[in-house]
A = this chain, B = another copy of it.
């Protein structure tokens, strides 16, 4: 393509309000423009990259025997009501009514709709089926942000598997795991597969593929040994704290002005790891005590998962005082009855601890958690922090900011049961097929590539997804220069290369910096000076390395460089 015929509105300055690197660079390099918060127009360069990403995904889906569908985005309320999600999903789902007053949803995911198609499956012989689509998804995000990373409208590759039993589902799930690993590898995204909470999908096993980036909002705990988990699920191998025996019963002592763990540590010399922190939550309307070690933080999602809760929130001070007789700062579990008490596993076996006495300004020391507190349930509730030992290999853990770029779930029979899909099993009995679902956000993947492939000059696309594989910078308008550039252009196109001919009447510096900004992997520079000794320059965007190559060998040189990346 000729740059003179391509719409690339690059900006000279960084756009205001774009904090994420990908947001800033995609705006500046003329790939995207915002229509309104969470909705972006993709300009021609972005459309080219998106198409290449889609082709990579399609290729790998096809390789695991998945078949492409295209299902409606606009959906009747009835099917969501049948599955039980019409009420369960809140404001995140866009809803509307049509001219006849019928309630409709805009698809934020397609379990229900693919399941309606599956009602025609007849027999175990029809299984497995692995179905996918590239379709627009709408989600009314409370806070769209970071350009293409968190939006309200995006293209998703979503697939759904139907198997006759759990063994089949395991196979479909594993195939998707392998396909996703290949996809992110080909796209150049350093994806980390992590165990995850299943959220509203309500399945069992669930793996998220996470891309480390400062723009991410998901925290992943990661170890060089391969251990990786979302902080909502992660554990670590904490060293045992050796406690003394302590007194035979807790002893109260006055702690005026103590409000926090730190107050108690500095004022009374009780280190945080020898304190029991008492949190009060309202779990599905039930006031509940949650005990943590003083220096540990609660992960609310772990609380939700442990209790299979729908909603949790910290209790208000009035609720706490009414139940325990004291305010936060002096709370404790000793002597509490009538309220459920959860304790984090890190408190197992701990003795001689200090905690609040449920009297303002009074604490208890010498507390033996098992002896003195009526714990109803022990569970892992703690947030892992960087440097703690890996639960597998004991090496120090990393904690990374990441963005989710893929997610695979085992759903089981939930949707086939509620929507009435059965097939005849091998034993002649009718069974509900078990499902898996699997998603990749296409434009978010595009942004993740930019997050992980850029430098201070702009984007550095991997060849596999670059909008053009090579750019030809034509310096000046001397006849022989133009002729050589045109000859290279048509020669490279003849080799099926994606070539961008920068034929604009701009200064060399503008051409170089624009080609770098938009991130074309290879550049050939054609100048009168070079042609004087029959050479052109070949520049590798990623390394910045420039070499002179004979004009006659330039096409072969570029072609070899591109092919070497395949």
Residues of A participating in the B interface, judged by any CB pair closer than 8 Å? 5-7, 9, 33, 35-36, 39-44, 46-48, 50, 65, 67-76, 91, 94-96, 98-99, 106, 113, 116-117, 120, 129, 131, 133, 136, 138, 140, 142, 152-153
Contact = CB atoms under 8 A, between A and B. Distances in A.
Nearest to A141: B99
Contacts of A74: 39, 94, 138, 152-153
A7 B129 contact: yes
A116 B70 CA distance: 29
Interface centre among A6, A43, A91, A131 (most CB of B within 10 A): A43
A99 B76 CA distance: 20
B99 A35 contact: no
Given A41-B71, A50-B70, 13 more contacts: A5-B65, A5-B67, A6-B67, A7-B131, A39-B72, A41-B116, A44-B68, A44-B69, A47-B133, A48-B68, A73-B136, A74-B152, A91-B99
A148 to B, nearest CB: 12
A368 to B, nearest CB: 49
A153 B98 CA distance: 12
Query: Lowest 8 CB-CB distances: which A-B pairs, in order?
Result: A96-B96, A39-B72, A42-B70, A91-B99, A44-B67, A41-B71, A36-B76, A47-B68
A72 B35 contact: yes
Interface centre among A69, A71, A72 (most CB of B within 10 A): A72
A74 B5 CA distance: 29
Nearest to A99: B91
A67 B142 CA distance: 33
Contacts of A96: 94-96, 106
Contact of A41 (B7, B117, B129, B153): B117
A469 B479 CA distance: 47
9 contacts: A35-B71, A36-B76, A41-B70, A42-B69, A46-B70, A47-B68, A48-B68, A96-B106, A98-B140
B7 A67 contact: yes
A47 B69 contact: yes
A433 to B, nearest CB: 13
Interface centre among A36, A50, A65 (most CB of B within 10 A): A36
A64 to B, nearest CB: 11
Contacts of A9: 120
A41 B113 contact: yes
A402 B545 CA distance: 61
A48 B58 CA distance: 12
A1 to B, nearest CB: 9
Contacts of A46: 70
Contacts of A106: 96
A35 B113 CA distance: 8
Nearest to A152: B74
A113 B113 CA distance: 30
A73 to B, nearest CB: 6
Contact of A153 (B6, B72, B152): B72
Nearest to A45: B67
Contacts of A136: 73, 136
A7 B40 CA distance: 35
Contact of A47 (B70, B73, B98, B129): B70
Interface centre among A5, A75, A91, A98 (most CB of B within 10 A): A98
Nearest to A112: B35
A132 to B, nearest CB: 10
A91 B76 CA distance: 18
A519 to B, nearest CB: 18
Nearest to A117: B41
Contacts of A50: 70
A44 B133 CA distance: 10
Contacts of A99: 91, 140, 142
A35 B98 CA distance: 15
A99 to B, nearest CB: 4
Nearest to A72: B39
Given A35-B116, A76-B36, A136-B136, A69 B41 contact: yes
A47 B140 CA distance: 28
A142 B98 CA distance: 10
Interface centre among A35, A94, A152 (most CB of B within 10 A): A35
Contact of A94 (B6, B75, B98): B98
Nearest to A154: B72
A116 B35 CA distance: 8
Contacts of A65: 5
A65 B1 CA distance: 10
A547 to B, nearest CB: 33
A9 B120 CA distance: 8
A5 B129 CA distance: 8
Contacts of A36: 72, 75-76
Contacts of A138: 74
B7 A72 contact: no
A39 B98 CA distance: 13
A76 B117 contact: no
A117 B76 CA distance: 33
B142 A72 contact: no
Interface centre among A6, A39, A43, A70 (most CB of B within 10 A): A70
